[in-house]
Chains A and B, each alone.
Chain A
Amino acid sequence: MLTPLLSSDWAFVADNVPYLFGGIVLTVALTAASILLGFLAGFPAGTVEVYGGRYASGAVETVGVVLRGTPIVVILLFAYFGTPIESAFVAAVLGLGLRSGAYQSQIFRGAIQSVDEGQMEAARAVGLSRLQAIRRVVVPQALRRSIPGFQNEFTIVLKDTSVAFAIGLSELLTRSNDLFVQNTNAVLEVILFASAVYFVLTFVTNRTLDYVGNVFAIPTGDST
């Protein structure tokens, strides 16, 4: 027997929208801050892995493997309980952001490596230094190609913010939990509502990134 989708249960959800909204704000803030930190750490890391010397790229790779190989809950617990960081929000952004940086570094590494070697040679041939060539020729092309992978990562971070409850941050999913504990008949309705919110956030983000991709696409008639 499935719980019927009672209008009274939807009314309960509607009454609690302000409470859930507080969770949505926290979810969005966590996602935005973590993605930004992940980009600031991950983009240079990806570049270093491709162009860096043996020691630099080795160090970056090791850190990346450790971050990618540790469960997110463990990373968050360590960031909050294992360091002197006082604020749970800062600890969560640090944990989510650094792990996202490790994933993003691979997105950018792949994108940079996909740019044809001849581009670098041509850039050097017209007199650019190695660094200028990377900055002016390779990276602009690589960034365009990294948009699809970056869209994925954005979605993953958005949904992983729910793990932050482990260190006491009550984001959207935690607040949804609070609600269906309060009214145990509305489990399905509350979960559907939260899913819809996650879907809207993901959809809007992806469409925005699609748009960005189109705006910055290399304007050629036949190939990019």
Chain B
Amino acid sequence: MEHRTSVDMDRRTYVKVVGASSVAGLTATAGCVGSLTGSGGDETPDKTLTAGTAPGFPPFEMKEGGDLVGFDIDLLEAVVAESEYTLSGWEEFEFKGLTPALGSEKIDVIAAAMTINDKRDKNIDFSNPYYSADQSILVRKGGDFSPSKLGDLSGHPIGAQKGTTGEGIVKDELVSTDQLKQSNYNSYGSYVLAVEDLVNGNIDAIVIDKPVAQTFQSERDVSIAFTYETGEQYGFGVREGDSDVQSALDTGLKAVRDSGEYAEIRNEWFSDS
């Protein structure tokens, strides 16, 4: 057959095209992660807010019978009720989709147990903190592994959820300092799956936010070995420079704390803290 029906791409063109496509991909991602706009201050400010969250993180946000419930849900609704804004509704995303959703104005507030850190602070602004994000180390109940400090995890298979503070601690405190081999770290799409693996004996410990650890402790055969104080805190995320919403949330949060409503909501969701 002497027929060449399609143009063979030579290798150089191929590399160029693939390079271009990955650059395009990266720019697209960067473009939607970066803050696209400041606040819409040039028109009459819209007094409704759409909130975004990532269910699957009990007791902060999860689905029950198809309804979105949790500490973050109740708290944000109480906080917004104390401000001049009204909450028009909730949108659900994967955790990693929240920042792009905020940047492209699909949502105005993130309430998703999001830890305030410098990396995130570059792209979005945070309200004042509303919860301390200490990390607990979960192990099998009645197992023979009972670590009492991070160093004890060395040499054991450890799990955490992708993109969480827990994962950050495993990577920064253990893997980077050569106390844990990279191959001993398992990352999961959801903490539920990590707990499943822990119960089944495939990993020996999980690094996870304390309140979430307490929820699992009451539901599954796992127990908290020790808690690692990170000094990190959760905040509500708002668009970079959206200071109106930011200060409304801060005022609302203070009012909710002062009225005792914050304590009520906390006791409802964290039975044993």
Contacts and interface: CB of A to CB of B under 8 A. Distances in A.
A170 B16 CA distance: 37
B120 interface: no
Interface string B194-215: 0110011100000000000000
A188 B63 CA distance: 18
A54 B6 CA distance: 9
Interface residues of B, number: 49
Contact of B7 (A16, A58, A168, A182): A58
Interface in A131-179: 165-168, 170, 175, 177-179
A77 interface: yes
A21 B132 CA distance: 38
Of A16, A50, A70, A178, the most chain B CB neighbours within 10 A belong to: A178
B235 interface: no
A181 B92 contact: no
Nearest to A67: B21
Given A166-B94, A178-B56, A81 B17 contact: no
A185 B251 CA distance: 40
A188 B5 CA distance: 50
Contacts of B193: 187
Interface string A171-207: 0000101111110110110000000000000000000
Contact of A82 (B3, B18, B31, B58): B31
B97 A66 contact: no
Contacts of A19: 65-66
Nearest to B105: A81
A77 B29 CA distance: 7
Contacts of B32: 77-78, 81-82
B131 interface: no
Interface string A106-123: 000100010001000000
Interface residues of A, number: 43
A8 B66 CA distance: 19
Nearest to A74: B25
B100 A181 contact: no
A58 B16 CA distance: 14
B64 A182 contact: yes
A109 B235 CA distance: 53
B58 A181 contact: yes
B6 A50 contact: yes
Contact of B63 (A74, A81, A168, A181): A181
B101 interface: yes
| Those 5 A-B pairs whose CB atoms lie nearest each other, nearest first | A178-B63, A81-B32, A78-B28, A66-B21, A81-B104
18 contacts: A65-B18, A66-B17, A70-B25, A77-B29, A77-B32, A82-B104, A117-B1, A166-B96, A166-B97, A168-B93, A168-B106, A177-B192, A178-B56, A178-B63, A182-B63, A182-B65, A184-B195, A187-B192
Interface of A: 1-3, 16, 19, 22, 49-50, 54, 57-58, 61-62, 65-66, 69-71, 74, 77-78, 80-82, 109, 113, 117, 165-168, 170, 175, 177-182, 184-185, 187-188
Given A3-B196, A78-B32, A178-B56, 17 more contacts: A1-B201, A49-B6, A57-B7, A74-B25, A77-B28, A77-B32, A80-B104, A81-B32, A81-B100, A81-B104, A82-B104, A167-B97, A181-B56, A181-B62, A182-B63, A184-B216, A185-B219
